């Protein structure tokens, strides 16, 4: 059982402008971004929290003048009930506690940096179809961004292009170049639009390592180290993907994107994912490539090869694949008459 935090409105005891300013300071975003988010009320700002964390968010947001509801998300039921402490909600919680833990975690509709979390202040909007990332870069700090991903920026931001990763990075399907954006003297804002239509995920690395598939990388803190990892011929060539993964490690913010929606899966044991749906996974997982059936299934079922994960960690998957879309769109292409 998880809990979602939803802003239902203004309490009425304070001026909306003052509440918006306090909300912006709490999540370390601009007042304009805070106003745009609160204009969408009712809006869910956090999903998948435990009960104590959700109640802390409620208390903090109500203290600045917002009306907040905590929604209980049951693992095996579609109903969502306000956590009001009444008998129906308590009964639902007891039922959900007996159910298996929820494996899938959909990304929230609007992602704000957690209050008090280290790293850059940011907002992800437009998800899950056309996610757009806005990052606040403190004065004299730098953000690494994938080439061609910058959509908007303040005039005090200075860009420097650097060669990263060499030939190995080229084989991942990414650009050989990364752009460093530095906020000179005063803080600045940058808007980042990934090339693929889909969702964005954020992870704050604390010494962990995450492997990204192909061109999933979007942006990161300069303290995050990016390098290519050789998969080997069996894992790379026969998976239908390229030979290399992007290995992200160190400390700091990391953003990556997907084609289609994105779902997080907690893996404990064995789990199978189609190779084309993998976006990222944590270092604690081992993986191997194998057929899902016999050779007839391999060539005629449309399923192909799969990745079998073992261990304990997290996998991010995408709900669509580019190859499947190309196959679907192939039949609608215009055909020139030979006569």
> Does the CA dihedral 260-264-265-271 come out positive or negative?
positive
CB atoms within 10 A of CB 276: 21
DSSP at 317: E
Indicate if the pLDDT at residue 96 is higher than 50: no
Secondary structure of the chain: what % helix, strand, coil (to 5)? 20, 45, 35
CB atoms within 10 A of CB 100: 7
Q: What is the pLDDT of residues 176-207, one digit of tens each?
A: 678 999 999 999 999 999 988 999 999 999 99
Task: Output the six-digit token pair for 276.
Answer: 């084309």
Q: What does the pLDDT read at residue 35?
A: 85
Asked whether 289 and 323 are in contact (CB, 8 A), the reply is no
Domains and their CATH numbers in the chain: 2-102 (3.30.1390.10), 111-325 (3.60.160.10)
In this structure, are strands 200-213 and 278-282 parallel, antiparallel, or unpaired? antiparallel
Asked whether 49 and 2 are in contact (CB, 8 A), the reply is yes
CA distance 107 to 262: 6
CA distance 60 to 246: 38
Q: What is the pLDDT of residues 244-295, one digit of tens each?
A: 688 899 999 999 998 888 888 999 899 998 888 888 999 989 888 777 655 4
Indicate if the pLDDT at residue 235 is higher than 70: no
Q: What is the percent of the chain with per-residue pLDDT over 70, rounded to a whole number? A: 70
Residues 6+ apart with CB under 8 A from 133: 122, 123, 124, 191, 192, 193, 194, 200, 218, 219, 255
| Top-confidence residue, 72 or 48 | 72
Q: What does the pLDDT read at residue 87?
A: 32
Name which of 15-29, 62-76, 202-216, 324-338 the model is least confident about: 324-338
Q: What does the pLDDT read at residue 227?
A: 85
This prediction has a pTM of: 0.63
Task: Output the six-digit token pair for 320.
Answer: 């669509």
Task: Output the six-digit token pair for 66.
Answer: 């917002």
């Amino acid at each position: 059982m998880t809990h979602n935090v939803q802003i239902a409105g203004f309490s009425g005891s304070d001026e909306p402008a003052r509440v918006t300013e306090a909300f912006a300071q709490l999540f370390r975003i601009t007042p304009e971004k805070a106003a745009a988010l609160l204009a969408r009320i009712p809006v869910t700002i956090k999903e998948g929290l435990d009960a104590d964390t959700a109640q802390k968010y409620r208390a903090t947001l109500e203290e600045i003048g917002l009306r907040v509801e905590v929604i209980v998300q049951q693992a095996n039921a579609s109903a969502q009930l306000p956590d009001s402490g009444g008998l129906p909600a308590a009964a639902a919680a007891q039922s959900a506690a007996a159910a298996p833990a929820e494996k899938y975690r959909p990304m929230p509709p609007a992602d704000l940096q957690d209050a008090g979390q280290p790293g850059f202040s940011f907002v992800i909007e437009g998800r899950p179809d056309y996610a757009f990332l806005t990052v606040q870069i403190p004065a004299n700090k730098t953000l690494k961004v994938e080439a061609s991903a910058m959509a908007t920026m303040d005039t005090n931001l200075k860009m420097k292009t650097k060669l990263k990763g060499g030939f190995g990075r080229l084989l991942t399907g990414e650009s050989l170049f990364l752009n460093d954006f530095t906020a000179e003297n005063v803080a600045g804002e940058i808007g980042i639009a990934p090339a693929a239509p889909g969702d964005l995920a954020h992870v704050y690395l604390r010494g962990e390592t995450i492997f990204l598939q192909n061109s999933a990388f979007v942006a990161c803190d300069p303290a995050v180290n990016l390098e290519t990892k050789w998969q080997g011929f069996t894992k790379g060539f026969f998976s239908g993907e390229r030979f290399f993964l992007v290995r992200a490690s160190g400390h700091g913010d990391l953003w990556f994107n997907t084609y289609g929606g994105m779902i997080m899966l907690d893996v404990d044991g064995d789990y199978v994912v189609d190779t084309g749906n993998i976006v990222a996974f944590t270092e604690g997982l081992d993986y191997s490539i194998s057929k899902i059936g016999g050779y007839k299934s391999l060539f005629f079922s449309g399923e192909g090869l799969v990745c079998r994960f073992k261990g304990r960690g997290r996998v991010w998957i995408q709900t669509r694949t580019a190859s499947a879309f190309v196959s679907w769109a192939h039949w609608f292409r215009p055909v020139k008459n030979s006569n």
